[in-house]
Each structure stands twice: as C-alpha cells, then as structure tokens.
Amino acid sequence: MKIVVLKFGGTSVGTINKIKKVAEIIASYKKKNYKVIVVSSAMSGVTNELIKKSFEISKNFSASEHDVLVSSGEQMACSLIAGRLIHRGFKSRSWLSWQIPILTKGAHKNSRINQINKNKIIKYLKEGGIPIITGFQGISDENRITTIGRGGSDASAIMIAKFFKAQRCIIYTDVEGVYTTDPNKLKKAKKLKIISYEEMLEMASLGAKVMQPVSIQDARLNRIDIEVKSSFTKKSGTLITKRSNIISNKIITGITSTQNDSKVSLIGVRDKPGVAASIFKPLSKNLINVDMVVQNISANGKETDLTFTIKTEDLNKTKKIIKSNKNIKFRKLLLKKDVSKISVIGVGMITTPGVTFRMFQSLASKKINIQVISTSEIKISVLIDKRNTKKALMALHKEFHLDNRNRK
C-alpha cells in the first residue's frame, strides 16, 4: 500500500481559506494514487487561547484537564478539513486519538506515543477514505486524553509514518524548508535541499524553529525521512534524512543564533568535589535549563570560576536561587543580559581540520569578542554580545561559502 502522511501546521490551517487550500493539496496526492493519512495541528492561535482560558480558571489548572482542553483545537481543525474534502466529493472523516487509538506513555502535557492501533485506519484506507487524524494527542493507560508537548503534531505524524510504513512523511508549514540560517535575520540565507538528522537536530535545539528537537529525534531513531515544505507555494522543500543519503562537499550546513540568552558567572567558587552539582541541582529542580558551561580552575587549585548561560526570563529566579544556596561559597556573582549564542553546524567538520580557526578568525576580523565557547562533534557554539549577532551571521555565512549555495 503506497501511503503518504501529510502533516499541516497551525499556520497552514489558520483560516477557512487556508483550510480550503490544504484540501486541494490533499486531493493532489489522492490523484497520484497515494493512500493519504492527514495529521493536523490546531488552527494558529487556538491552543494559546485555550491555555489562556485555563489560567483564568485557575493558576494551578489540572494537568489532565489541561490536556482535554487544549486537544480540542486539533479536533476542530480536523473536522473542518474533513468537511471540505467531503464537499469536494472525497470520502473523509476526522479521527480523534481515542478512536484509533493512539496509546501514549508518560505524564500529562508531555507524553510520548508508544503504540498505534492500525486496524481501523487500514480498513478505512482500503475503502478509499482519507483519515484526518488529530495530532498532538493520544490516550493513556487510564483511558485519559494526553498531549505530546511542543512539536507534538510533528511527532504524531512521524510515529504514524513509522507504524503505517509510509513511503513519505511531509510536514507542511509556513516556510519553504530549512535554511542555512534564519532568513528573517539574513537575506542571503539559502534553502537547503537536504540535511542530515544530526544537523537538523542541532539546528532545532539551537534556535531554528522549523521543527522541535523531539520530533527530529523520533525521526532519527525510527529512520523516517521527512520533507519540510510550504503549504502556500508549490516549490520543493527540504529533505531530512540519514547521513549516508547525503553527498555534499559542504563543511558547514547551517548557522543558528539565539535571541534571549543571559550569562551567569560565579567568581571565586570554593573548589571541591560536587560543587558544580550543588550549583546546578536547585536550578534543575526549578526547571531552569542551563546551556553553555565553562569552568576555569585557579592556579592554586583552591578556587574556580564557573560560567553558564540560561534564558533571560529565568535570570532573576536564578539569581535568587544562587544567593540563597547555602551549599556553595563564592566571591562574586556576575549577570549579563543581551548575549547571543552563535553556532556553526555541519557533519563535514568531523573530517575537516581548521574549522574552529576559521570561525574565530572570521569573528575577530569583525572585532567581535568571544565570551564562551562550546563544541561537539558537528557543532561549534560561541557566546557574543547580542548587538553583534547580525554581523556575526553575515561574516560566518560568507566564510563558509553558504552565500554561494544555489537556491532551489
């Protein structure tokens, strides 16, 4: 059975006219003799409005009822898509997670899909039907509705593609694909024809908003190729696939930057075993995500300076937690807002020496000071003043010849 999974994001189904356009896209695959499974997000803005209502009811709104509430947005969108397809003469209906069912594990608000019962959907496909399945949701062992967290509809589509052994999984969104860097920040950004799971995972976790990291990780673990394309144009998109499918002479695939980071430095920390854990444990308990971490030991070995980055909205809370922490001693606490993390990403750097030098030299030539450095096998990240973000992106985009990539 030649199955294609089509997932439509909130902006793609944001208005009635856009839903009519989505129905045309679905019909085009049906005419190509695909068995089409559709996964839809809620209409753009609907989920946020529902969350807002829950806060107006209670500041501690029940997690299980939260999932019932916010999952209703997908139900509405799926019904409208199915209704339009029926109007066009196709056999279609909406399917809620509990009707299939899609079984999940984990806590409310952040469950993961564990199993999908295929029988009803397979039967419906064989009958010529187009199932429109609610993304972002499933049901628990206790028969309660659960949601899958940020990027949940993408994750739903990827897992549906896995369980139904789909030939293609296409994520329709409001952008034409994945770019070398954010096209809103740099006009010379180029659309990528193809990118590896690992590179996309790094780009997503470092600020690229095309897909959420958890969805990319699911695709990588299950070896599901993903096409990302726009629902508003007929241009080709970007294929996310395994490294072995990619033939490229590019060292660097993309560059990302962050918007709302802050730097925290503890100077003169009394150095002893477990001191780093003592600093980061209370931050973790308060759900503060720590990113770049650099530690410098003093020459006498008795003190250390510890620097890390967090999101700016967590800065005041972090300051209070550190100052009230009786398990650590330090001479000075330095806090700095308005910093940005710039990262170059590419599997090509594994076998190419000199990437670090080229990156640092390029930034130095523009008189951009590097405050913190972090590296992995396919990524180099630096922390700089936020005011230099665009200048850094332009310099690195040119240095690694990303300006020369043909737009396709």
Q: Which CATH number covers residue 77?
A: 3.40.1160.10
pLDDT for residue 407: 37
Q: Which residues of 189-207 are buried (b: 16+ CB within 10 A; e: fewer)?
A: bbbbbbbbbbbbbbbbbbb
C-alpha span between 217 and 198 (Å, rounded) = 9
- Alpha carbon distance, N-terminus to C-terminus of the chain: 31
Whether 405 is in a domain gets the answer no
Whether 165 is in a domain gets the answer yes
- Other CB atoms within a 10 A radius of the CB of residue 75 amount to 17
pLDDT for residue 406: 44
Whether 280 is in a domain gets the answer no
pTM score: 0.82
C-beta of residue 137 within 8 angstroms of C-beta of residue 146? yes
**CA nearest neighbour of 322 among 278, 274, 273, 268:** 278
C-beta of residue 6 within 8 angstroms of C-beta of residue 65? no
C-alpha span between 52 and 33 (Å, rounded) = 42
Residue 124's domain comprises: 3-174
Q: How many domains does the chain have?
A: 1
Whether 286 is in a domain gets the answer no
Whether 247 is in a domain gets the answer no
Whether 233 is in a domain gets the answer no
Whether 403 is in a domain gets the answer no
Whether 51 is in a domain gets the answer yes
Per-residue tens of pLDDT for the chain, all 408 residues? 899 999 999 999 999 999 999 999 999 999 999 999 999 999 999 999 999 999 999 999 999 999 999 999 999 999 999 999 999 999 999 999 999 999 999 999 999 999 999 999 999 999 999 999 999 999 999 999 999 987 789 999 999 999 999 999 999 998 899 999 988 888 888 999 999 999 998 888 776 678 888 889 889 998 999 999 999 999 999 999 998 777 777 889 999 998 889 999 999 998 888 889 999 999 999 989 999 999 888 767 788 999 999 999 999 999 999 999 998 989 999 999 999 999 999 988 888 889 999 999 999 999 999 999 998 889 999 999 999 999 999 999 999 999 865 433
Q: What residue type is 177 in one-letter code?
A: G
